[in-house]
Chains A and B, each alone.
Chain A
Amino acid sequence: MKERYFSTFQLFLLALFAALIVVAKIALHLPLQLSGHSGIFWMAIIIVAARVVPKRGAASLVGLTSGIMAAFLGLGDLGGLNTLLSYTMAGIGADLGLLLLRDPENYACAMLAGMFGHLCKFIVKWIFGMAAGAPVGFVVLGLAKALVGYIVFGALGGLLGALTLAALRKAGFFTYLLEKK
Chain B
Amino acid sequence: MNLNSTYGMTHAMRIIESSPIRKADPRTKLALCLCASLAVMLPLGKIIFFAIIYVIFLLWARLLPEAARQAWKLKWILGVLFLVDWLVISLDLAVVVTLRLLLMAGVFAMFFSTTTPSELCLALVWLRVPYRYAFSISLSFQTVSSIDTEWRGILEAQRARGAFEAPKGWRYIVEQVRNLVSLTVPAVVLTARRAWSMTEAAYARGFESPHRTAFNRLSMRAIDWAILAGAGMVAAAIIIWR
Residues of A within 8 A of B (CB): 2, 4, 8-9, 11-20, 22-24, 26-31, 40-41, 44-45, 48, 52, 65-66, 68-69, 71-75, 77-82, 84, 128, 131-135, 138, 156, 159-160, 163-164, 167-168, 171, 173, 176-177, 180
Contacts and interface: CB of A to CB of B under 8 A. Distances in A.
B143 interface: yes
27 contacts: A14-B136, A16-B140, A16-B191, A19-B144, A23-B144, A26-B148, A27-B152, A30-B1, A30-B2, A40-B180, A41-B180, A52-B192, A65-B136, A65-B137, A69-B140, A72-B115, A73-B11, A74-B109, A77-B73, A81-B104, A131-B40, A132-B100, A159-B174, A167-B181, A171-B185, A171-B189, A173-B189
B4 interface: yes
Contacts of A134: 81, 85, 97, 101
A78 to B, nearest CB: 5
Given A16-B195, A131-B40, A133-B93, A8 B203 contact: yes
B199 interface: yes
Contact of A77 (B4, B74, B112, B152): B74
B127 interface: no
Interface string B91-114: 001001100110011111101110
B241 to A, nearest CB: 20
A176 B192 contact: yes
B56 interface: no
Nearest to B85: A135
B23 interface: no
Interface residues of B, number: 78
Contacts of B54: none
A111 B223 CA distance: 50
Contacts of A19: 140-141, 143-144, 147, 191
Given A9-B195, A135-B88, A15 B140 contact: yes
B101 to A, nearest CB: 5
B11 A75 contact: yes
A47 B61 CA distance: 41
A160 B107 contact: no
Interface of B is mostly: helix
B147 A20 contact: yes
Interface of B: 1-6, 9-14, 33, 37, 40, 69-70, 73-74, 77, 81, 84-85, 88-89, 93, 96-97, 100-101, 104-109, 111-113, 115, 117, 120, 132-133, 136-137, 139-141, 143-144, 147-148, 151-152, 155, 173-174, 177-178, 180-181, 184-185, 187-189, 191-192, 194-196, 198-199, 202-203, 207-208
B154 to A, nearest CB: 10
B197 to A, nearest CB: 9
A164 B184 contact: yes
A74 to B, nearest CB: 6
Contacts of B207: 8
A79 B109 CA distance: 7
A8 B208 CA distance: 9
Contacts of A177: 192
B177 A28 contact: no
A15 B137 contact: yes
A72 B6 CA distance: 19
A8 B181 contact: no
Contacts of A11: 132-133, 136
B151 A27 contact: yes
A4 B208 CA distance: 11
Looking at A13, A22, A23, which has the most chain B CB atoms within 10 Å of its CB? A23
